[in-house]
Structure 1
Amino acid sequence: MNSKPRSPRRKIRTGFALGLSIALLSLLCCTGGTAAFFLTSLGTTRQSPTAADMSCEEDHQVKLSGTIPRLGRYGQTQMRNAAVIIKVGQDMKVPPRGWVIAVATAMQESALRNLSNSTVAGSRGIPNEGVGSDHDSLGLFQQRAGWGSVTQRMSPDYAARKFYEKLVKIDGWERMPLTRAAQKVQISAYPDAYAKHEDVASQIVNALAGGAARTVQIAEQAVCDRAAARTIAASGWTAPIDGGVGSGFRTASRPRHNGVDIGARKRTEIHAAATGRVLVARCDPDHSGNRSCDVDGFPGKGGCGWFVDILHAGGFVTRYCHMIEKPRVAPGQLVKAGEVIGLVGSSGNSSGPHLHFEVHIDSNRSFSGGINPVPFMRQRGAPLNGSA
């Protein structure tokens, strides 16, 4: 293999929140009224959920014949290339998490197009779907000469197989952040470029392989919608704690309730819902401006108590409120999906021990950025046990 660092053709302009200049603004969480907070230069790419995002089938076998669905800006040719990548992974018995990593990598390297270069194009008669610009790199994964001959690298089947062969040799790859696993295979000059494609790559895998990105590996079987705590779905997401949803999202009785409440005993471990960068980990002041988070709160007190906000690839932000003590993470820290970030408590605006959990889109931590966490987590194979 050629281990020389190389530049992905679709160079990252903004990255996954690794060099962000962040201005942290104060907020009030459980009663609504959060202050506005926006992150620029994240390079988010989100698509509307497809029907496959909402279902998870027993048979996840991708079909290469017949009509291949489009998804967002990815047309049938690109989606067919994604289907080949997934099919090769299936044939090699690579778990669905590997399919998501491989598809996301090819999205970054070639936008899922089988790219040639100026030397090969027109002189060797090898079919291609465009001309790249990165040295001698070729194909879906922009593999250089050490990966094989020109003809081999221009074969989507061969290119995908070589990617998987290297991926599965990486110790612990299934639990790594996607961008780290991809980087260990690709050895790119832009190691954080792959992260931003994870969510759409999961949607592509779901659309082509019966919701496979919503599965977890249990007894070497892909099982739908069971990701919780340290069990991570192929999408890269997990439910932060086990437990049923009590108070729901923006209900008639609580229209400013910008998340859901999940009941749990005090000191239950809270897990990061996905890999991300910690934005905030502190005590939220109550309505009187006091920072009294080391005692149980009460209804009407105001504030999240001890809480954490995490920024994830795709511009998603998750929030975890009412911890019993200072969080176990710090601002700027990179946390993995499933990592323990704190313990359930009842600090702040709380009537009893529970986790208040929020999801925000477009890197917007304000009330307007909040979405219902229940369907969001279900679409990622990490359902919150209950309904709202």
Structure 2
Amino acid sequence: MSEHGPRRPVRTGALAAALTAALVLLCCTGGAGAFFLTELGGDAAEQLSPASMECTGDFEVDVTGKMPRFAEYGERQLRNAAVIIKVGQEMRVPPRGWVIAVATAMQESRLLNLANSTVGESRDIPNEGIGADHDSLGLFQQRASWGTVAQRMDPEYASRKFYEKLLDLPDWEKLSLTVAAQRVQISAFPDAYAKHEELAARIVDALAGGAARTALIAGQEVCDAAAGGEIAASGWTAPIPGGVGSGFRTASRPGHNGVDIAAPKGTDIRVAATGRVLVSRCDPDRRGRLSCDEDGWPGKGGCGWFVDVLHAQGIITRYCHLVDRPLVAVGDTVQAGEVIGDVGSSGNSSGPHLHFEVHVDGDRSSRGAIDPVPFMRSKGAPLKGAG
């Protein structure tokens, strides 16, 4: 139904790097593409993959059993993450809150129960290292107003206090991870939390039976159903609720760098995850014309009206063939589930549909494209009609 994206793909690794330096969106571990595709990364690739786990919010976390392996974090740190999740379960916090809490602790303490120099001199209060802040303590680097020294150094108490403040935020589940974490923590580096979201979701999946793939629908945690505005605990949603027709780089269309999702003209297109708009424009057709304000046809060429959005860890999503000029502009910050335009048939198209692409490494060209179907399934936001 569509060509594989813009006729003139621009290599934007430098742009992505510049943007993320300002936004602190890219993962700090490096090697985002190769690492990301292992699902659990590094040695953890031998462990359960989120896409193969039973997806449930009722999975009871074991804080004393064997921990999965992650290249970035050791057993002690993962056990602390398990405590954070278990406290969230006991408080009946939805899994989205677990992801936010784990990501926050990743930023604040590297998932270590850190003391300060004064506390570190005391043998009465066990700790796992000395933090950089003179008056902040524990997994979440909480200050004196959060409790006594002993309380803040107790991972269960610290986790409970974090969740209490999170739950006090109006509509906290609709907020981006960065905004939610910042409103709880009041950090001097408010944009720093976002870079941990993808890995935090994978840790939650590994420790809690794929729970980051659940979405809260009608008050119930439902697995693999994030679409139509519902956001999975991972922070992702399907862009439209239609079914996949033409797939990624099929035998008949090896240059098709995304998937086509059928939907009536005018259907809302929602951004799949929180990010920053990189591109929002009309893609020229084969003749170099900017003719997006009309329905296209097979062989016309071009993506029509389209949008590219940069997400955490250098992931880029692309949305093609919009019916009108997109509702967002370059540089806009967009929240997961936000409407960015409507389904149309502009550009190289035989009928109304959304051409949807996923790219890694901040690479908008065909070299960065990956199959959106398994990617979105791993996020708990599967594209309907895709097995």
The verdict on a shared fold, with TM-score over 0.5 as the criterion, is: yes
Using the TM superposition, give the Cα deviation of residue 367 of structure 1 relative to its aligned residue in structure 2, in angstroms: 0.7
Q: Would you say the 8 A contact 1:32–1:258 is kept in 2? A: no
> What secondary structure, in the 3-state scheme, does the structure 2 residue paired with 1:68 have?
coil
Q: Would you say the 8 A contact 1:137–1:143 is kept in 2? A: yes
Letter in 1 for 2:50: D
Please state if 1:281 is matched with 2:280: yes
The equivalent of 2:265 in structure 1 is 266
Higher mean C-alpha displacement, 45-54 vs 105-114: 45-54
The equivalent of 2:10 in structure 1 is 35
Q: How does 1:102-141 map to 2 (within 5 A)?
A: 102-141=101-140
> What secondary structure, in the 3-state scheme, does the structure 1 residue paired with 2:69 have?
coil
Counterparts of 2:264 and 2:281, CA distance in 1: 21
Counterparts of 1:307 and 1:57, CA distance in 2: 33
The equivalent of 2:256 in structure 1 is 257
Counterparts of 1:350 and 1:168, CA distance in 2: 45
Q: Would you say the 8 A contact 2:55–2:213 is kept in 1? A: no
Using the TM superposition, give the Cα deviation of residue 241 of structure 1 relative to its aligned residue in structure 2, in angstroms: 0.3
Counterparts of 2:197 and 2:341, CA distance in 1: 25
Please state if 1:323 is matched with 2:326: no
Counterparts of 1:102 and 1:373, CA distance in 2: 27
Q: Would you say the 8 A contact 1:52–1:210 is kept in 2? A: no
Q: String of CA shifts for 1:353-383, please: whole Å, max 9, x gaps.
A: 1000001111111111111000000000000
Q: How does 1:190-201 map to 2 (within 5 A)?
A: 190-201=189-200
Letter in 2 for 1:158: Y
The equivalent of 2:54 in structure 1 is 56
The equivalent of 1:357 in structure 2 is 356
Letter in 2 for 1:296: D
Q: String of CA shifts for 1:9-66, please: whole Å, max 9, x gaps.
A: xxxxxxxxxxxxxxxxxxx853776232212153424542143411233432211122
Q: Would you say the 8 A contact 2:275–2:333 is kept in 1? A: yes
Counterparts of 2:96 and 2:49, CA distance in 1: 17
Counterparts of 1:217 and 1:169, CA distance in 2: 18
Counterparts of 1:199 and 1:333, CA distance in 2: 21
Distance 1:241 1:30, change over 3 A: same
Using the TM superposition, give the Cα deviation of residue 80 of structure 1 relative to its aligned residue in structure 2, in angstroms: 0.4
Q: String of CA shifts for 1:272-304, please: whole Å, max 9, x gaps.
A: 101111111110111211100011111121110
Counterparts of 1:98 and 1:144, CA distance in 2: 21
Q: Would you say the 8 A contact 2:4–2:258 is kept in 1? A: no
Q: Would you say the 8 A contact 2:117–2:134 is kept in 1? A: no
Q: Would you say the 8 A contact 1:228–1:238 is kept in 2? A: yes
Q: Would you say the 8 A contact 2:273–2:311 is kept in 1? A: yes
Q: String of CA shifts for 1:196-243, please: whole Å, max 9, x gaps.
A: 100000000000000000001134322100000211101110000011
Letter in 2 for 1:203: R
The equivalent of 1:92 in structure 2 is 91
Q: Would you say the 8 A contact 1:179–1:195 is kept in 2? A: yes
Letter in 2 for 1:49: E
Distance 1:242 1:330, change over 3 A: same
Q: Would you say the 8 A contact 1:229–1:270 is kept in 2? A: no
Higher mean C-alpha displacement, 52-61 vs 257-266: 52-61
Q: How does 1:1-388 map to 2 (within 5 A)?
A: 29-30=4-5, 34-38=9-13, 39-40=16-17, 42=20, 43-44=26-27, 45=29, 46=32, 47=36, 48-50=38-40, 51-54=48-51, 55-58=53-56, 59-387=58-386
> What secondary structure, in the 3-state scheme, does the structure 2 residue paired with 1:228 have?
coil
Letter in 1 for 2:55: E
Letter in 2 for 1:182: A
Using the TM superposition, give the Cα deviation of residue 117 of structure 1 relative to its aligned residue in structure 2, in angstroms: 1.2
Counterparts of 1:190 and 1:57, CA distance in 2: 33
Unmatched segments (≥5 aa) in structure 1 = 1-27
Q: % of aligned pairs identical?
A: 66
Letter in 2 for 1:250: R
Counterparts of 1:94 and 1:169, CA distance in 2: 12
Using the TM superposition, give the Cα deviation of residue 333 of structure 1 relative to its aligned residue in structure 2, in angstroms: 0.9
Letter in 2 for 1:53: P
Letter in 2 for 1:272: V
Q: Would you say the 8 A contact 1:377–1:383 is kept in 2? A: yes
Distance 1:31 1:37, change over 3 A: closer
Higher mean C-alpha displacement, 234-243 vs 40-49: 40-49
Q: String of CA shifts for 1:78-135, please: whole Å, max 9, x gaps.
A: 0000000000000000000000000000000011011111111132431111111112
> What secondary structure, in the 3-state scheme, does the structure 2 residue paired with 1:355 have?
strand
Unmatched segments (≥5 aa) in structure 2 = 21-25, 41-47
Letter in 2 for 1:119: T
> What secondary structure, in the 3-state scheme, does the structure 1 residue paired with 2:54 have?
coil
Q: Would you say the 8 A contact 1:261–1:354 is kept in 2? A: yes
Letter in 1 for 2:371: N
Higher mean C-alpha displacement, 354-363 vs 62-71: 62-71
Q: Would you say the 8 A contact 2:268–2:342 is kept in 1? A: yes
Higher mean C-alpha displacement, 47-56 vs 59-68: 47-56
Q: Aligned pairs, how many?
A: 361
Distance 1:103 1:214, change over 3 A: same
Q: Would you say the 8 A contact 1:136–1:145 is kept in 2? A: yes
